[in-house]
Amino acid sequence: MRRLRLPNTPQLDALARAAGELYSAVVVDFWRTVRKRGIWLKPSSMMRWHTSNQLHAHSADAVVQSFYAALKSWRKRRKTDPQAKPPYRRRRYFRVQWKSSAIRVREGTLILSNGRGNTPLVVPWPWEAPVLVELGWTGTDYELRAVYSRPAAEPVAEGGVAGADLGEVHLAVVYDGERTTIYNGRELRAKRQHQNKLKAHLAAKQSRMRKGSRRWRKLRRSKQKQLRKLENQIWDILHKQTTALVSTLHERGVQTVVIGDVRDLRKRVDYGPAANQRIHQMVTGRVRWLITYKAEQLGMRVVLQDESYTSQECPRCGSRHKPRGREYTCLVCGFRFHRDGVGAVNIRRKYLGLGPVVGVMASPTGVRWHPHQRTCVARDKRERIPAL
């Protein structure tokens, strides 16, 4: 931990005030939802609801997390102290935290990102990059607290890299070092099944007719029309989900998307006719292609990473076993995580050459396809240049 006094500047005031505004909004809306709906919103919902256009996305998340930490400590204290007060108070100023993804050290300066389009906080810094930086108030002036908990040297810059595990049940599961997001493939699977059934049904019907007859030709036209419609619906799902994926990563400052490579899966496996049909229709190829070109449009890089054993390996201790059920539980070290997130975590870890994950991982959030999602990556975001 390293502390550094900073003279008051309008920028520091503005940052602390932005954090204060966000904190106050979280306090107000949390208790309002409790009062009106009787629901305690989850941190993940609150993070999606409340963001700040003056803070880095992870800094904004940290503010929300601070509120939940206060809430948790109140619930704990309440058991022994009936006078304990829940976090009701709004704050004009609040501490600002920068996580590793927002921290850069370059040529003797510490650059703390405040999100796209905002001026970063730049501080003279002859030391190594910390993993967490906090801007606090000492009562008279601002203080920067830099935390070094992990070894400072890592093979590749960790910030800005997301691992993506493409699959059958879920179109993609993405882990960006903090959040895990699951892009659901349920609707897509339903369309696929329908497509197979329809093909079989129409082929059987057609086989009973004389080839080239009027009825046969009519049925062929109808078949083509029905299958084309389904194919369009499938593309729609793929487009919308991959756009959501790429846009979200881009907004969160990801520069490199690491995709688990499954290209030789078709050659390797033979699970019997039913499973084969599913595997050979795998959409992972299409999804990979869509993610790649959309990410490149936004100036992101896409790399492939061998994904052998990534779904079986424990991210904490490295032991391998096949998960059972929805939860991955390591039999050796007890690490627990949503099963589908493990692959994405490991793909990212392998690419970065990182050691074991530490601490508790936030549970994944799901993104389902819905008809009104946007189809193409936002053009205005692509063209906006971050001011320095």
DSSP states along 128-188: PPPSEEEEEE-SSSEEEEEE--S-S--SS--TTEEEEEE-SSEEEEEE-SS-EEEEE-HHH
- Compute the least distance from the CB of residue 311 to Zn ion, in Å: 14
Cβ atoms < 10 Å from Cβ of 191: 17
Q: Are 335 and 329 in contact (CB under 8 A)?
A: yes
Query: Binder to Zn ion among 304, 333, 362, 378 (CB under 5 A)?
Result: 333
Residues 6+ apart with CB under 8 A from 71: 30, 86, 87
For Zn ion, what does the binding mask look like between residues 292 and 321, x meaning CB under 5 A? ----------------------x-xx----
- Compute the least distance from the CB of residue 329 to Zn ion, in Å: 9
- Compute the least distance from the CB of residue 315 to Zn ion, in Å: 8
- Segment interacting with Zn ion, rule: CB under 5 A, options 141-149, 289-297, 328-336, 344-352: 328-336
Task: Provide the H-helix boundaries in 79-118.
Answer: none
Q: DSSP character for 325?
A: S
CA atoms within 13 A on the CB side of 137: 17
Euclidean distance between CA atoms 286 and 84, whole angstroms: 55
Which lies closer to Zn ion via its Cβ, residue 230 or residue 333? 333
Residues 6+ apart with CB under 8 A from 267: none
Residue 246 binds Zn ion, judged by CB under 5 A:
no
**C-alpha angle 142-144-145 in degrees, rounded to nearest 5:** 135
- Segment interacting with Zn ion, rule: CB under 5 A, options 46-54, 155-163, 329-337, 349-357: 329-337
Q: What is the dihedral of CA 310, 314, 317, 318, to 10 degrees?
A: -30
Which lies closer to Zn ion via its Cβ, residue 157 or residue 317? 317
Residue 252 binds Zn ion, judged by CB under 5 A:
no
- Compute the least distance from the CB of residue 334 to Zn ion, in Å: 7
Q: Are 59 and 19 in contact (CB under 8 A)?
A: yes
Which lies closer to Zn ion via its Cβ, residue 196 or residue 319? 319
Residue 329 binds Zn ion, judged by CB under 5 A:
no
CA atoms within 13 A on the CB side of 128: 11
Residue 339 binds Zn ion, judged by CB under 5 A:
no
Residue 68 binds Zn ion, judged by CB under 5 A:
no
Query: Binder to Zn ion among 94, 328, 335, 337 (CB under 5 A)?
Result: 335
- Segment interacting with Zn ion, rule: CB under 5 A, options 72-80, 146-154, 292-300, 330-338: 330-338
Which lies closer to Zn ion via its Cβ, residue 160 or residue 315? 315
- Compute the least distance from the CB of residue 356 to Zn ion, in Å: 8
Site for Zn ion, residues 351 to 370, rule: CB under 5 A: none
Q: Which residues bind Zn ion (CB under 5 A)?
A: 314, 316-317, 330, 332-333, 335
